Amino acid sequence: MFESLTKRLEAAFKNIRGQGKLTEKNMKDSLQEIRRALLEADVNYKVVKQFIADIQEQALGREVLDSIQPGQQIVKIVHDELVKTMGGANEPLKLAETPPTLIMMVGLQGQGKTTSAGKVALHLKKKGHRPLLVGADVYRPAAIKQLEIVAQQAGVESFSLGEHADPVDTCVMARGEAQMRQCDVIIMDTAGRLHVDEQMMGEVRRIQAQVAPHEILFVANAMTGQDAVNSAKQFHDALPLTGVVLTQLDGDARGGAAISLISVTGCPIKFVGTGEKLDALEPFHPKRMADQILGMGDIVSLVEKAQEVVDREQALKFQEKARKATWDLEDFLQQMQQLKKMGSIGDLVQKIPGMKKMMGKGMMDVDEDEMKYVEAIIYSMTPEERQKPKIINGSRRRRIADGSGTTVQEVNRLLKDFEQMRKMMKNMMKGGKKGRRGMPMMPGF
Amino acid sequence: MAEEKRGFFGRLRERLSKTRSTVIDSVKRVFTAHGNVDDSFFDELEGVLIEADFGVDTTLDIIENMRLKARGSGVENAEDLLAVLKEDLVALLSPGDHALSWDGAGGPHVTLIAGVNGSGKTTTAGKLASHLKSRGKTVMLGAADTFRAAAVEQLTIWSERAGVPIVKHQDGADPAAVAYDAADAAQARGIDCLLLDTAGRLHTKVNIMEELKKIQRVVGKRIPGAPHEVLLVLDATTGQNGLQQARIFTEALHVTGLVLTKLDGTAKGGIVVSIQKELGVPIKLIGVGEGVDDLQPFHAREFVEALFS
Ligand SMILES: Nc1nc2c(ncn2[C@@H]2O[C@H](COP(=O)(O)OP(=O)(O)O)[C@@H](O)[C@H]2O)c(=O)[nH]1
Ligand SMILES: Nc1nc2c(ncn2[C@@H]2O[C@H](COP(=O)(O)OP(=O)(O)O)[C@@H](O)[C@H]2O)c(=O)[nH]1
Ligand SMILES: [Mg+2]
Ligand SMILES: [Mg+2]
């Protein structure tokens, strides 16, 4: 949809080369392009205006470096400034010196508050805390039930006075409840509300006044457009917000709302949501976010994520096997399990501009159902069969199909696919001996 | 929709008398402060359109067009030019069928409701069920979101509010199986309208988009011609990504219309202009609150008035 900003700037910058210094005049076109890129990424209009003015001031008078592409030079300035605006990476939650720590989730409807409450609870549980999730949304049908299920999924305690009680009372009572259950963190899930709804804003202010949370997290979704400034501003005016949770970053929104939110609230983004499941919560990385807003792709996180799960040594072993075509179904199974661990890597890859087109739609998707049945089939084979698929004759196929609850056709298809993949990999390894060194190999990629 | 007469505009004003005005003021100022159109007028107009989420391309198109018109027709007064712009936008948003079709040609009329997470699908299904029932239709809800925690319970509460039956399986069940069963039950019981609520999904996840196609296929097998209506639910606060969402959903499904929710906030939902322009998908309904009556038919003129109010 958007070509890379760098590329677009190249054109705008052609006539600056060799001009010595960056001036208001020779920067005009490129600033125009940057402005456009930011607006397309949903950064608020007024925020962009201010930002461009700042950039201009900074860049003015700088030498035009002949050694690097001028486009990259200004992108670098913009990128650095975006990173600076978005503040430090990895702002942790402030935990109270004397427990319990009180955390309140607030925001508009449908942004991901309840899900994020569960994610934060799981995150803290993993760090050795005992969180209590508190259901204080009495308006959305089944919201309390949703929170209870989320708490169960996270394996943490939950509490609510129910949907007929005053949410303020629920939050107040939660303290005693936490003490009784020996919980050291209280996470309150409040109802979604519009910033212009005075009655509802009054309610959340009352909760705040009564329980004085240590953290008040404004939850907003990354697809939010220009209006992010209006809602965030009024929430900020009503409540002492301490941080932002930016959800649904697993989509393909550029996420310019991040800049708007930080600009109006002055609060750091403490977490980002990258999926519906409760472990899909990550610390915020301003650098990656800046890349994404400028359409430069989230390459860093892709690489990091891949490194995290792929055992390097094993990858090399696989590579060797692939080259010699001794790669067998056992290896295939192991690789598939690694791939599963990588989970959302397909989503990450899609964020890289151009990548999606190159790979073709669906290529990067790991279909968990499909994998389950492939796994079942391979599990039903003997070790010998896994190593030498050639010996799998008709009667073995029938046995495997029965054992895995699949059909002979499905077993046939898997064996055929596997054989094709093996050939393909062998060829690939021959061709790319030098170039692809060190890149962990992934099946199907 | 019970209060169609008062219109979306009147209802909005009533619901949100107060704080909203601060945002609105700045928009009004643009058109009254400028007696005559000049460059600064166009600059400010650009700001208004972009802040309404029209997007850069559409905004620049509109501005260019307005400049030409101002020059060509000699319209000099800002308010006059605004009137011209409004007419243009109304014309742009008008094509297509903005009404819901309710005759299921003998069998149940099936509406499939889709969209990204948290956009307001379940709420819209509930409101719509109630509205149709008040029009004398027999209605059934199908809970094909088996994924999100308590999604089935949420829709069940809506079915109770509307007083209509619901078909549901346990959590984690195959959504297509629920859809099929619901179609089956609706057929067997001679129901007029079946509304299928689906799980939210980001358009980027190819597999779960496939699941949606499967639901569409499966109901078509049980009831020929179904789904008769496929509504894409879009949150009005969505920015430029809304267009991409619409692109992918219309690629996967036979989307017949948009539902623009959460217009009771301060977001204007301007991205629908690009959606209608590029994809020709008409807006059919708007959501203006969380209550059972907060669903209204879309009127291009009222929508455009609200953009500049
Ligand atoms: N893809 C994705 N979906 C999310 C994320 N966070 C929340 N959701 C989904 O967004 C929808 C609304 O979330 P919910 O927690 O109910 O929002 P609330 O109304 O603000 O409490 C649900 O369908 C969630 O599964 C995220 O980071 N990624
Ligand atoms: N203010 C407002 N809130 C809405 C509207 N439509 C839905 N919501 C709220 O948005 C949240 C998500 O809605 P839901 O129907 O659960 O979304 P789904 O995930 O798409 O099914 C809920 O809190 C709803 O009450 C609307 O038109 N206006
Ligand atoms: Mg909630
Ligand atoms: Mg739903």
In this structure, which amino acid lies at residue A265?
T
In angstroms, rounded to a whole number, what is the distance separating the alpha carbons of residues A341 and B138?
47
Nearest-neighbour CA in chain B from A83: distance (Å)? 22
Q: B141: which strand partners? A: B166, B195
The domain spans of chain A are 5-86, 101-284, 303-431
Other C-beta atoms closer than 10 Å to the C-beta of A31 total 19
Yes or no: domain B7-93 corresponds to CATH 1.20.120.140: yes
Say whether B204 and A350 touch across the interface (CB within 8 A).
yes
* Interface check A41 vs B, CB under 8 A: yes
In angstroms, rounded to a whole number, what is the distance separating the alpha carbons of residues B69 and A143?
52
What is the predicted pLDDT for the residue at A316? 66
**Residue of B127, B161, B241 for testing the chain A interface, max A β-carbons within 10 Å:** B241
Computed on alpha carbons and rounded to an integer, the radius of gyration of chain A in Å comes to 26
Compute the 3-state secondary structure of chain A and give helix, strand, coil in percent, each to the nearest 5.
55, 10, 35
Q: B45: which strand partners? A: none
Nearest-neighbour CA in chain B from A193: distance (Å)? 9
In B, minimum Cα distance to A367 occurs at B207
What is the predicted pLDDT for the residue at B19? 35
Angle (CA) A225-A229-A231 rounded to 5° is: 95
The domain spans of chain B are 7-93, 109-298
CA atoms within 13 A on the CB side of B207: 12
In angstroms, rounded to a whole number, what is the distance separating the alpha carbons of residues A38 and A261?
14
Residues lining ligand 1, CB < 6 A? A 107, 109-115, 192, 219, 247-248, 250, 273-276, 280; B 117-118, 148, 200, 202
For residue A271, pLDDT beyond 60: yes
Say whether A141 and B237 touch across the interface (CB within 8 A).
no
What is the predicted pLDDT for the residue at A11? 62
For residue A299, pLDDT beyond 50: no
Yes or no: domain A5-86 corresponds to CATH 1.20.120.140: yes
User: Considering the domain B109-298, what is its CATH architecture?
Assistant: 3-Layer(aba) Sandwich (3.40)
A5-86 against A303-431: fold identical: no
What is the predicted pLDDT for the residue at A300? 40
Lowest mean pLDDT among A233-237, A411-415, B244-248: A411-415
In angstroms, rounded to a whole number, what is the distance separating the alpha carbons of residues B107 and A74?
62
In A, minimum Cα distance to B13 occurs at A196
What is the predicted pLDDT for the residue at A304? 44
Tell me the pLDDT band of B294, cut-offs 50, 70 and 90: very high
pLDDT per residue over A334-362, tens digit each? 777 666 655 544 554 444 444 444 444 44
pLDDT per residue over A123-141, tens digit each? 999 999 999 999 999 999 9
Lowest mean pLDDT among A48-57, A164-173, A256-265: A48-57
In angstroms, rounded to a whole number, what is the distance separating the alpha carbons of residues A3 and A294?
10
What average pLDDT is seen over chain B?
A: 87
ipTM value for the complex? 0.90
Yes or no: domain A101-284 corresponds to CATH 3.40.50.300: yes
Q: A245: which strand partners? A: A219, A271
Q: Provide the CATH topology of domain A303-431.
A: 434 Repressor (Amino-terminal Domain) (1.10.260)
Kindly give the distance from the C-alpha atom of residue A146 to the centroid of ligand 3, in angstroms, as a whole number: 8
Ligand 2 atom index nearest CA of B233: 20
What is the predicted pLDDT for the residue at A420? 77
pLDDT per residue over B110-148, tens digit each? 999 999 999 999 999 999 999 999 999 999 999 999 999
- Does the Cβ of A196 fall within 6 Å of ligand 2? no
- pTM of the shown model: 0.80
pLDDT per residue over A303-334, tens digit each? 444 445 555 556 666 667 666 667 788 877 77
